[in-house]
């Protein structure tokens, strides 16, 4: 009957796949237990590849049979590396953009646009090719915050080129509409506007496109999520809004839209006194930590109320670019680092699960005849409109 030494001898003839040395020489055989003709062998190998384990199982099994041993094998091996992929699936109106990041909040006025601008600049300063799409059709203020007020985009054919400031490409409804022009936006118009901002703008190849959303959880958010796979959702909130459950609404929306949550930005979370530079707690700093853990996410940053942030926004000179040594700029840089880490290490993002149930070209405002026609056409190509200018396509 075979003993441990016999088994070891057989194992010392088995080469580690792809190498000249045996598994015994490598020290991969960690434990051998024998009980009559039964043996259990534990191996600790350095490869996560299944083929390596399979080949070893085959060779060891054959070697053990040759000496009348029925061996049970167990393997310790490293975790397979997480699949890193920039690929996306589902509908994608802007495939030249690697990662779309949706910046959202349950309530208005909490600092979404300020966060978008500074995070985008901080991300660009870390070597990424970055754009901002201002999807806040109700109050587009990214152009002002980026110092682009009054600038007109270059038109090429029937498309517009984004503007550029501080190394970031920018497009906004505010650039395309007459200043002060008031529009009453209906659901279908918002959907059309968002899709045009993705499809009819000449976005270059970008690593990250930040989208500043209108406040709340409505048509704009759903349309965006259906039009491009969104790689990350960022929720901007203030500590007092956490208590009011507003921020939960936007986090719940990310979950419903299958948008991976990159984290929460706790804005106005304390006050930095401009004269003595001390940080004091006003609304209750740090309340977002608990919220983040409830949603299995992280706090990307705690941004204090700092006059330089507001001044930077009003004057079009963002604090992260113009005052990089400030506390706020450093926190935006750290938040950008966390975000980059999140999107660079995620699996494939898909928006397949949130595609409209109606075929492309059909909206709730289509008449029955048009709906049938559009359905037929949609089978061949996406297209069709009810022709009323309602914005259904």
Ligand X SMILES: Nc1ncnc2c1ncn2[C@@H]1O[C@H](COP(=O)(O)OP(=O)(O)OP(=O)(O)O)[C@@H](O)[C@H]1O
The annotated binding site for ATP is made up of: 106-113
CB 132 within 8 A of CB 144: no
CA distance 204 to 192: 21
CA distance 15 to 26: 9
| 209 token code pair | 């496109």
Task: Choose, by CB under 6 A, the member of 125, 309, 336, 339 that binds ligand X.
Answer: 309
Report the phi/psi class of residue 166: left, alpha or beta, with left for phi > 0 and alpha for psi in -120 to 50: left
The interface with ligand X within residues 16-75 (CB under 6 A) comprises none
Least distance (Å) between residue 114 CB and Mg ion? 8
Task: Choose, by CB under 5 A, the member of 113, 115, 247, 320 that binds Mg ion.
Answer: 113
Q: Which one of ligand X, Mg ion, none interacts with residue 268, CB within 5 to 8 A by kind?
A: ligand X
CB 244 within 8 A of CB 166: no
Q: Which is nearer to ligand X, 10 or 306 (CB)?
A: 306
CA distances 145 to 104, 133, 170, 325, 388, Å, are: 17, 13, 11, 19, 35
**Which region, judged by CB under 6 A, interacts with ligand X, from 50-58, 70-78, 307-315, 364-372?**
307-315
Residue with the closest Cβ to ligand X?
Answer: 108
Q: Which one of Mg ion, ligand X, none interacts with residue 363, CB within 5 to 8 A by kind?
A: none
Residue found by looking up tokens 């703008």 in the block: 201
Least distance (Å) between residue 368 CB and Mg ion? 40
User: Would you give the binding string for Mg ion spanning residues 61-100, x where CB under 5 A is met?
Assistant: ----------------------------------------
Does 111 participate in binding ligand X (rule CB under 6 A)?
A: yes
Candidates 168, 162, 126, 124; CA nearest to 146 is 168
CB 331 within 8 A of CB 302: yes
Which residues, 6 or more positions from 62, have their beta carbon under 8 angstroms from its beta carbon? none
Least distance (Å) between residue 334 CB and ligand X? 15
Binding interface with Mg ion (CB under 5 A): 112-113
Binding interface with ligand X (CB under 6 A): 105, 108-114, 136, 139, 141, 215, 267-268, 303, 305-306, 309-310, 313
């Amino acid at each position: 009957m075979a003993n441990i030494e016999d088994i070891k001898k057989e194992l010392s003839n088995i080469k580690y796949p792809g190498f000249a040395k045996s598994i015994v020489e490598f020290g991969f055989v960690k434990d051998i237990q024998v009980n009559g003709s039964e043996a259990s062998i534990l191996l600790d190998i350095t490869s996560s590849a299944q083929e390596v384990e399979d080949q070893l199982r085959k060779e060891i099994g054959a070697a053990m049979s040759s000496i009348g041993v029925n061996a049970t094998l167990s393997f310790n091996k490293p975790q397979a590396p997480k699949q890193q992929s920039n690929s996306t699936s589902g509908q994608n109106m802007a495939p030249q953009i690697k990662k779309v990041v949706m910046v959202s909040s349950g309530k208005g006025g909490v600092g979404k646009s300020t966060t978008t601008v500074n995070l985008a600049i901080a991300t660009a300063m870390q070597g990424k090719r970055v754009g901002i799409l201002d999807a806040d059709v109700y109050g587009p203020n990214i152009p002002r915050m980026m110092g682009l007020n009054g600038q007109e985009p270059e038109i090429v054919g029937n498309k517009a080129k984004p503007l550029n400031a501080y190394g970031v490409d920018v497009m906004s409804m505010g650039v395309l509409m007459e200043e002060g022009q008031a529009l009453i936006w209906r659901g279908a118009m918002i959907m059309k506007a968002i899709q045009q901002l993705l499809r009819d703008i000449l976005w270059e190849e970008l690593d990250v496109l930040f989208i500043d959303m209108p406040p709340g959880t409505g048509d704009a958010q759903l349309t965006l999520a259906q039009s491009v796979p969104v790689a990350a959702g960022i929720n901007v909130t203030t500590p007092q809004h956490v208590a009011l459950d507003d921020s939960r609404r936007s986090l719940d929306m990310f979950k419903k839209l299958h948008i991976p949550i990159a984290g929460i930005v706790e804005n106005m979370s304390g006050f930095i006194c401009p004269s003595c530079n001390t940080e004091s707690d006003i609304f209750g700093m740090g309340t977002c930590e608990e919220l983040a853990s409830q949603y299995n996410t992280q706090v990307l940053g705690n941004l204090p109320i700092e006059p330089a942030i507001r001044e930077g926004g009003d004057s079009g000179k963002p604090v992260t670019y113009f005052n990089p040594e400030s506390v706020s700029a450093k926190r935006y840089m750290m938040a950008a680092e966390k975000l980059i880490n999140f999107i660079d290490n995620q699996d494939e993002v898909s928006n397949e699960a949130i595609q409209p149930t109606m075929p492309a070209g059909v909206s709730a405002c289509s008449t029955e005849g048009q709906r049938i026609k559009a359905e037929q056409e949609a089978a061949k190509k996406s297209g069709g409109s009810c022709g009323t200018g309602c914005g259904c396509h």
